[in-house]
Amino acid sequence: MFIFRLKRTVRLGIKSLWMHKLRSTLTTLGIIFGVSSVIAMLAIGEGASRAAQEQIARLGSRNIIIKTVPPPEDKDVGSQNESMRVYGLTYLDAERFRNSITNVEVVVPSRHLVQQAWYRNRKVAIEVIGTVPWYPEISPIQVRFGRFLSSIDMHHKQGVCVIDENVVKELFVFDDPLNKDVKLEGDYYRVVGVVSPANLGEAATALESDRSKAKSQGANIGNIYIPLTTIKNRFGEISIQFGGGSGRSVERVELQEIIVKVGGMDEVLPTRDILETLLSRFHKKNDYQIVVPLELLKQAKQTQRLFSIVLGSIAAISLLVGGIGIMNIMLATVSERTREIGIRRALGARKRDIIMQFLSETLLLTFLGGVLGISLGSLVPFMVTRFGQMPTVITGISLVLAFGISGAVGVIFGIYPAYRAANMDPIESLRHE
Amino acid sequence: MTGDKYNAVEFEKDAPILVMERLCKSYELGTMELKVLRDIALTIKNGDYVAIMGPSGSGKSTLLNMIGCLDRPTSGDYWLGGQNVSLLDDDQLSLIRGARIGFIFQSFNLINQLNVVENIEVPMYYQGFSEHESAERAIELAKMVGLSDRLDHRPSELSGGQQQRVAIARALANDPLIILADEPTGNLDSESGSEILKILVDLHLQGKTLIVVTHDEGIAENAGRIVEIFDGRIKRQ
> What is the per-residue pLDDT across B13-57, written as a single tens digit (0 to 9) for each?
788 899 999 999 998 888 888 889 999 999 999 999 999 998 888
Could you tell me how far CA B158 lies from the centroid of its own chain? 22
Count of alpha carbons within 13 Å of A156, Cβ hemisphere only? Answer: 7
Q: Which of A347, A351, A358, A419 to mutate to test the interface with B (most CBs of B within 10 A)?
A: A347
Task: State whether residue A16 sits within 8 Å of chain B by CB.
Answer: yes
Q: Looking at the DSSP assignment, which residues form a beta bridge with residue B19? A: B43, B79
Set of chain B residues whose Cβ sits within 8 Å of the Cβ of A433: none
Compute CA distances A6 → A162, A196, B125, whole Å. Answer: 70, 59, 11
Q: Identify which of B131, B34, B41 has the alpha carbon closest to the alpha carbon of residue B79.
A: B41
| Residue A429 near residue A338, CB atoms below 8 Å | yes
For residue A295, being part of any structural domain is answered with no
DSSP state string for A342-398: HHHHHTT--HHHHHHHHHHHHHHHHHHHHHHHHHHHHHHHHHHHHHH-------HHH
Q: Identify which of A331, A332, A353 has the alpha carbon closest to the alpha carbon of residue A344.
A: A353
pLDDT the model gives residue A228: 92
| Residue A377 near residue A36, CB atoms below 8 Å | yes
Distance CA A310, CA A195 (A): 41
Q: What percent of chain B has pLDDT over 70?
A: 96
DSSP state of A296: H
For residue A222, being part of any structural domain is answered with yes
Chain A: residue nearest B1 by CA?
A350
CB contact under 8 A, A340 and B126: no
Structural domain total, chain A: 2
Task: State whether residue A263 sits within 8 Å of chain B by CB.
Answer: no
Chain B: give the shortest CA distance to residue A315, in Å: 36
For residue A173, being part of any structural domain is answered with yes
CB contact under 8 A, A347 and B97: yes
Residue A164: what residue type? D
**Tens-place pLDDT, residues B182-209:** 999 988 998 999 999 999 999 999 999 9
CB contact under 8 A, A346 and B103: yes
Task: State whether residue A137 sits within 8 Å of chain B by CB.
Answer: no
For residue A294, being part of any structural domain is answered with no
Distance CA A220, CA A222 (A): 6
Distance CA A208, CA A216 (A): 9
Task: State whether residue A340 sits within 8 Å of chain B by CB.
Answer: yes
pLDDT the model gives residue A211: 40
Set of chain B residues whose Cβ sits within 8 Å of the Cβ of A337: none
Domain termination residue (choose one: A251, A286, A321): A286
Q: Is residue A38 domain-shared with residue A136, that is, in the same domain?
A: no
* CA angle at A328 for the pair A324 and A332, rounded to the nearest 5°: 165
Crossing angle for the helix pair B116-126 and A338-346, to the nearest 10 degrees:
60
Range of the domain at A114: 70-286
CB contact under 8 A, A350 and B130: no
pLDDT the model gives residue A39: 87
Shortest CB distance from B125 goes to which of A8, A16, A352? A8
pLDDT the model gives residue B37: 92
Alpha-helical segments (H) within B17-115: 60-67, 90-100
CB contact under 8 A, A347 and B98: yes
Q: Phi and psi of A172, rounded to 5°?
A: -110, 85
For residue A334, being part of any structural domain is answered with yes
pLDDT the model gives residue A73: 59
Pairing of the two strands B49-53 and A288-291: unpaired
CB contact under 8 A, B111 and A343: yes
Compute CA distances B175 → A155, B138, B212, whole Å. Answer: 107, 12, 17
CB contact under 8 A, A346 and B3: no
pLDDT the model gives residue B162: 94
Q: Is residue A76 domain-shared with residue A107, that is, in the same domain?
A: yes
| Residue A28 near residue A225, CB atoms below 8 Å | no
Q: Which domains does chain B have, with CATH numbers?
A: 49-73+87-236 (3.40.50.300)
For residue A344, being part of any structural domain is answered with yes
| Residue A428 near residue A342, CB atoms below 8 Å | yes
Shortest CB distance from B70 goes to which of A15, A344, A426? A426
| Residue A112 near residue A128, CB atoms below 8 Å | yes
Q: Is residue A209 domain-shared with residue A259, that is, in the same domain?
A: yes
Set of chain B residues whose Cβ sits within 8 Å of the Cβ of A7: 131
Could you tell me how far CA A269 lies from the centroid of its own chain? 23
- Model confidence at B104: pLDDT above 90: yes
Q: Is residue A11 domain-shared with residue A144, that is, in the same domain?
A: no
Q: Is residue A419 domain-shared with residue A351, that is, in the same domain?
A: yes
Task: State whether residue A23 sits within 8 Å of chain B by CB.
Answer: no
Q: Is residue A275 domain-shared with residue A306, that is, in the same domain?
A: no
Q: Is residue A324 domain-shared with residue A409, that is, in the same domain?
A: yes
Shortest CB distance from B131 goes to which of A8, A15, A339? A8
Residue B126: what residue type? Y
Question: Which H helix or E strand runs over A44?
Answer: helix A21-59
For residue A293, being part of any structural domain is answered with no
Q: Is residue A211 domain-shared with residue A242, that is, in the same domain?
A: yes
Shortest CB distance from A16 goes to which of B103, B113, B125? B113
DSSP state of B34: E
Query: Residues of chain A whose pLDDT is less than 50?
Result: 78-80, 202-217
Q: Identify which of A17, A13, A423, A349 has the alpha carbon closest to the alpha carbon of residue B125.
A: A349
Chain B: give the shortest CA distance to residue A433, in Å: 10
DSSP state string for A302-337: HHHHHHHHHHHHHHHHHHHHHHHHHHHHHHHHHHHT
Alpha-helical segments (H) within B56-144: 60-67, 90-100, 116-126, 131-144
Residue A87: what residue type? Y
Q: Is residue A261 domain-shared with residue A363, that is, in the same domain?
A: no
Rg for chain A, CA atoms, rounded: 33
- Name the maximum alpha-carbon separation found in chain A: 105
Shortest CB distance from A348 goes to which of B94, B105, B113? B94
| Residue B172 near residue B102, CB atoms below 8 Å | yes
Q: Which of B80, B112, B126 to mutate to test the interface with A (most CBs of A within 10 A)?
A: B126
**Tens-place pLDDT, residues B106-157:** 999 999 889 999 999 999 999 888 888 999 999 999 999 999 999 999 999 9
Crossing angle for the helix pair B116-126 and B131-144, to the nearest 10 degrees:
130
Torsion of the alpha carbons at A15, B106, B201 and B141, rounded to the nearest 10: 0
For residue A63, being part of any structural domain is answered with no
DSSP state string for B153-165: --GGGS-HHHHHH
CB count, 10 Å around CB of B175? 12
Set of chain A residues whose Cβ sits within 8 Å of the Cβ of B123: 347-348
Question: Which H helix or E strand runs over A414?
Answer: helix A396-422
Q: Is residue A306 domain-shared with residue A393, that is, in the same domain?
A: yes
Domain termination residue (choose one: A286, A313, A343): A286
Q: Is residue A282 domain-shared with residue A157, that is, in the same domain?
A: yes
ipTM: 0.93
Domain termination residue (choose one: A225, A252, A286): A286
Q: Is residue A107 domain-shared with residue A215, that is, in the same domain?
A: yes
Set of chain B residues whose Cβ sits within 8 Å of the Cβ of A333: none
Mean pLDDT of B205-223: 87
Reduce the DSSP state of residue B149 to 3 states and report it.
Answer: helix
Give the count of Cβ contacts less than 8 A between chain A and B.
68
